[in-house]
Amino acid sequence: MENFNSASLHTIDYGRLNELYDGDNEQIASLFELFLDEVFPDFREIEMEIDRQNWVEVAKTAHKMLPWVGMVGLTALEAKLRSIEAQAKTDPNPEAIRSAWNQFKFGLDKAMPLIREELTRLTS
């Protein structure tokens, strides 16, 4: 598998995927598919809760989504989402959380085509 800079918010961390799935491309493809179809739409829920400034729900939803972001190798986004969760729990500053969310969302929007391309490659 190709190596990408895992520090970038919109790249897939192949080292993490290999660590988690030991090169099982079928399992990786299955998780990518599940992420795209079932998990990705749920990120709108976090944004709605940020808009409502419902910090308890922001933290809870971010916590629920964290494993999924990690399981598809979006390591940098996982760290950003973890910081959103922590901010919502301990220091719910609306501007800071909105800024962190916008960075997360930008990275996620850039990562989605990469995940789709990788899914296509793995299932071809």
pLDDT tens, position by position, 69-108: 999 999 999 999 999 999 999 989 999 999 999 999 999 9
Task: Tell me the per-residue pLDDT of 26-59, one tens digit each, with 9 for 90 and over.
Answer: 999 999 999 999 998 889 999 999 999 999 999 9
Residue 117 zone, left/alpha/beta (φ > 0; ψ -120 to 50; rest): alpha
pLDDT of residue 77: 94
- Helices marked H in 1-124: 14-21, 25-34, 43-52, 55-71, 75-90, 94-123
What residue type is assigned to position 64 of the chain? K
Contact 108, 77 (CB under 8 A): yes
pLDDT of residue 6: 37
Tell me if residue 75 falls in helix, strand or coil. helix
Q: Look at 1 and 71; give whichever has higher pLDDT.
A: 71
Structural domains of the chain, with CATH: 14-123 (1.20.120)
pTM: 0.86
Which of 71, 52, 74, 58 is CA-nearest to residue 8? 74
